[in-house]
A and B are shown apart, each in its own frame.
Chain A
Amino acid sequence: MQRRELIRQLVQKSCELRANILRMIHAAGAGHPGGSLSVADIVTALYFYELHIDPTNPAWPQRDRFILSKGHACPAWYAALAERGFFPKDQLPTLRQLDSMLQGHPDKKKTPGVDMTTGSLGQGLSLAFGMAMASRISGLGFRVYVVLGDGEVQEGQVWEAAMACAKYKLDNLVAFIDRNKMQVDGLTENVMPVEPLAEKWKAFGWEVREIDGHNMEEIVGVLDWARSIEGKPVMVIAHTIKGKGVSFMENVREWHAKAPTDEQLAAALRELGVA
């Protein structure tokens, strides 16, 4: 497939994901649209370009692993899993409802394709570290991908894991930071500054690259580049916009955790061109 055609299809996919994210949160009456929309392009690239997975065999031992450390953005993950065929799309509107396979935060026991339970912040990198070690020890040789939020790196455990991944030279591990610059109480730099982020990860022994987290070409490019790195874990700092794709949600703090009304959903879908 032509590179340009691939990118065009991925961009189209991410648009469908965004629409489903908003529909799900609207149906649930609760959820986190801001962080789900900011991470949508990265999740799209992972699920429709990068990951070696088999939707007909979610437990395939050699599959690549994905961990959404910022578990509150799970609508993006669920939308991708459904689109990829891990479960029927008609399950999406059951998000957060009693007896649903789609919990408010990811639950590996309930959702096909969810490799690890998350939701409590600052944990995903430790889980990824363990999986990447298991890949090496078992000889299965799969790769591990993890997405962290930027506010999340305020948790001390992230740096415990950062040290460990570098010590064990885990070049089968790729981490993204969804750098949308906002957390519940406001801008990360006001609540608790995380910059200089790239320098921190470099100092911890990681190979670091910064990209525009909404430029599909750059995301795909960085995934290709990450495969060429040897002897170090890879950190991709993806500069993103909270609420990306819906103008009235972009960079507006209250959309961190709020469901759209009927009118807001309709307006958002029109903007995404899927109404």
Chain B
Amino acid sequence: MLGLSTREAFGQALVEMGAKYPDLVVLQADGTKSTQTIHFAERYPSRFVNVGIAEQNLMGAAAGIASTGMRALVSTYGVFASMRACEQVRTFIAYPCLNVTIASSHAGVTPGSDGPTHQATEDIGIFRTIPAMTIVMPADEVATKALLDQALAWEGPVYVRLTRGPVPVMYSQEQKFALGKAIQRRDGTDLTIIALGDMLCWAEEAARRLEREGIQARVLDMHTVKPIDKAAVLRAAEETGAIVTVEDHNIINGLGGAVAETVSDGCPVPVKRIGLADTFAESGAYEKLLTKYGMSPEHIVRAAYEVLKMKK
């Protein structure tokens, strides 16, 4: 069942968070509709600050607000949060370890026809190298609401990565989420597919196809890329002996990089990374982009066979 986009779910959840956290201030650099903070702005105008098209000032202002003990959430596109305002995030939010949640929309190639200027495909890598940063990406609308709440309650900065288009509903309302704890979606003993955000549905589609061919793939939703759930990754390495990672991001220094680092430190097994192969994408329909750039369920299945061959 196709549900809301995670940015829409975020927009709705943010209104609830406004009631739950009376000290929450939301800051936006124009585009309240595209990032969906418009609902918060209408409900809580006195706690909403629009700084215009000025992402560097956006991050500095959030740092200033958080430094007084209030909770700040900034909202902008992932490309601008991670690159235009990278130093502002690093030096003025992460270094003083302030309670700022950076909610970025339009992750990966999900902006589709807008093209690479609006596709955030390096953001995880950039923020992974910044100390104190926590990086989260929900897979669906249920996860978005739960993980946003946890991000706002978290001590220190959190980057929440959201996507543009509708995604299937993956979770029931009863599902429990904890930052830093992966969720096992399917059990399997032949290999493990570790997925991030909206790619979880494609990873599960690949696992279903593998099952029809007699291969049991474990599937993990690694919604928290940093700090990564080391125990879950190492358990997957020990118990299944092979891993495929799936993310809509450059394969360098994203989820795949984090998993490969963890595995090489603790339990070396073959790891194949599905994602953008260190390239910019282009304008095009989202699903066609996934196919052209090697991120479709077919590609995941192919990678699964490759790691199985490499398995000792």
Contact with B along A122-163 (1 / 0, CB 8 A): 010111111111110110100000000000000011001101
Contacting residues, chain B, for A137 (C-beta < 8 A): 25, 46-47, 65, 70
Query: A123 touching B70 by the CB < 8 A rule?
Result: no
Query: B57 touching A129 by the CB < 8 A rule?
Result: yes
What is the bound-complex CA distance between A30 and B67, given in angstroms? 29
How many whole Å from A179's CB to the nearest CB in chain B?
A: 22
Nearest B residue (CB) for A105: B91
Contacting residues, chain A, for B266 (C-beta < 8 A): none
How many whole Å from B70's CB to the nearest CB in chain A?
A: 5
Indicate which residue in A115, A138, A156, A157 contacts B70 across the interface (CB closer than 8 Å).
A138
What is the bound-complex CA distance between A140 and B51, given in angstroms? 22
A residues 48-104 in Cβ contact with B at 8 Å: 61, 65
Contact with A along B40-72 (1 / 0, CB 8 A): 000000110101101011011111111111101
Contacting residues, chain A, for B96 (C-beta < 8 A): 107-109, 116-117
Query: A134 touching B25 by the CB < 8 A rule?
Result: yes
Query: A130 touching B52 by the CB < 8 A rule?
Result: no
What is the bound-complex CA distance between A132 and B60, given in angstroms? 12
How many whole Å from B80's CB to the nearest CB in chain A?
A: 13
Nearest A residue (CB) for B66: A130
Indicate which residue in A109, A117, A133 contacts B61 across the interface (CB closer than 8 Å).
A133
Query: B92 touching A134 by the CB < 8 A rule?
Result: no
Cβ of A205 under 8 Å from chain B: no
Residues of A in contact, count (CB < 8 Å): 33
Cβ of B87 under 8 Å from chain A: yes
What is the bound-complex CA distance between A107 and B98, given in angstroms? 12
Contacting residues, chain A, for B239 (C-beta < 8 A): none
Cβ of B88 under 8 Å from chain A: yes
Query: A160 touching B87 by the CB < 8 A rule?
Result: no
Query: A160 touching B62 by the CB < 8 A rule?
Result: no
Contacting residues, chain A, for B49 (C-beta < 8 A): 133, 168
Query: A164 touching B57 by the CB < 8 A rule?
Result: yes
Contacting residues, chain A, for B54 (C-beta < 8 A): 157, 160, 163-164
B residues 72-110 in Cβ contact with A at 8 Å: 72, 87-88, 91-92, 95-97
Contacting residues, chain A, for B46 (C-beta < 8 A): 137
Contacting residues, chain A, for B261 (C-beta < 8 A): none
Cβ of B287 under 8 Å from chain A: no
How many whole Å from B58's CB to the nearest CB in chain A?
A: 8
What is the bound-complex CA distance between A129 and B91, given in angstroms? 17
How many whole Å from B84's CB to the nearest CB in chain A?
A: 10
Indicate which residue in B57, B60, B70, B91 contacts A134 across the interface (CB closer than 8 Å).
B70
Contacting residues, chain B, for A190 (C-beta < 8 A): none
Query: A123 touching B88 by the CB < 8 A rule?
Result: yes
Query: A130 touching B60 by the CB < 8 A rule?
Result: yes
Query: B25 touching A133 by the CB < 8 A rule?
Result: yes
By DSSP majority rule, is chain A's interface helix, strand, loop, or mixed? helix
Contacting residues, chain A, for B63 (C-beta < 8 A): 116, 126-127, 130
Nearest A residue (CB) for B68: A134
Cβ of A261 under 8 Å from chain B: no
Interface bin, chain B: 20 to 34
Query: B64 touching A131 by the CB < 8 A rule?
Result: yes
Nearest A residue (CB) for B90: A120
Interface centre among A127, A129, A135 (most CB of B within 10 A): A127
Interface centre among B23, B46, B68 (most CB of A within 10 A): B68
Query: A138 touching B56 by the CB < 8 A rule?
Result: no
Cβ of A119 under 8 Å from chain B: yes
What is the bound-complex CA distance between A129 and B58, given in angstroms? 10
How many whole Å from B255's CB to the nearest CB in chain A?
A: 30
Query: A138 touching B60 by the CB < 8 A rule?
Result: no
Nearest B residue (CB) for A164: B51
Contacting residues, chain A, for B69 (C-beta < 8 A): 61
Known: A117-B96, A123-B88. A161 touches B67 (CB 8 A): no
Indicate which residue in A109, A134, A167 contacts B64 across the interface (CB closer than 8 Å).
A134
Known: A61-B69, A134-B70. A129 touches B61 (CB 8 A): yes
Contacting residues, chain A, for B57 (C-beta < 8 A): 126, 129, 157, 160-161, 164
Query: B56 touching A157 by the CB < 8 A rule?
Result: yes
Query: B64 touching A160 by the CB < 8 A rule?
Result: no
Query: A129 touching B64 by the CB < 8 A rule?
Result: yes
Query: A130 touching B88 by the CB < 8 A rule?
Result: no
Q: Which residues of B contact A (CB under 8 A)?
A: 23, 25, 46-47, 49, 51-52, 54, 56-57, 59-70, 72, 87-88, 91-92, 95-97
Q: Which residues of A contact B (CB under 8 A)?
A: 61, 65, 107-109, 115-117, 119-120, 123, 125-135, 137-138, 140, 156-157, 160-161, 163-164, 167-168
A sample of 16 inter-chain contacts (CB < 8 A) reads A115-B67, A119-B91, A123-B92, A126-B88, A127-B60, A127-B63, A130-B61, A130-B64, A137-B47, A138-B68, A138-B70, A156-B56, A164-B51, A164-B57, A167-B52, A168-B49
Besides the known contacts A123-B92, A126-B64, A160-B54, 9 further A-B residue pairs in the complex with CB atoms under 8 A apart: A117-B95, A119-B91, A127-B63, A127-B92, A130-B66, A131-B67, A133-B65, A134-B65, A137-B70
Closest 5 CB pairs of A and B: A130-B64, A126-B60, A160-B57, A160-B54, A130-B61
